A = this chain, B = another copy of it.
Amino acid sequence: MPIVTDARPYHHGRLREALVDAGLALARAEGPDAVVLRAASRAAAVSHNAAYRHFADRDELLRAVAERCMSRLALVMEQRQDALEPDPDPAARALSRIDAVGRAYLEFAATEPGWFRTAFAVPDKVNSFGPGEGVGARGLSPYALLGAGLDDLVEVGVLPAERRPGAEYAAWSAVHGLAMLFNDGPLRDLPDTERAVATQIVLDVVARGL
């Protein structure tokens, strides 16, 4: 019988959550490649193999972390939409809501590059996130939030209904591509002022082209 037992019990209790939290911290600082089983296990004060009781392999942990990153993105989108001052004009309101979606996406990519890259670094085996995964407070994924914004545009008469199908491909691609080019791509060291210009141009072109 041990005299002074270690404070930590043999069984962790909520190791799975602890590992995902640790992975989230690693991803935030260094991106998806830094989500390392042994480092996460160390952070959770647990032996390096304990993770295998909760995840089949490293990819499964990474996927869980990526799903949380996607949720964070959805949350930022929702917050930016909620922060809009109410506009009496429905058309203007719908437009500013769509604008907020795009700007929140780019803001998230800029302020949390590690999380942003991780959100889209889902391992090959897994298609994407299932329903109810990677969602924000309203239960909507970033993709669904964009779709809802586009629906509003139609309802308000800004976007012709015949252009609605597939509109998210254009909007999403443009904003996602810009974020990638800024973060990891050839536009990596564009100065902030030029970034703002590029952002405005991209959003304008999409708005005009939809």
Interface residues of A (CB under 8 A from B): 33, 120-122, 127-129, 143, 166-167, 169-170, 172-181, 184-186, 188-189, 197-198, 201-202, 204-210
Contact = CB atoms under 8 A, between A and B. Distances in A.
A204 B163 CA distance: 11
A198 B166 CA distance: 7
Q: Copies per complex? A: 2
B204 A127 contact: no
B173 A177 contact: yes
A70 to B, nearest CB: 9
Contacts of A184: 120-122
A interface secondary structure, majority:
helix
A188 B169 CA distance: 13
B127 A201 contact: no
A171 to B, nearest CB: 8
Contacts of A122: 184
A186 B128 contact: yes
A208 to B, nearest CB: 4
Contacts of A120: 180, 184-186
Contact of A210 (B181, B186, B189, B205): B205
A197 B127 contact: no
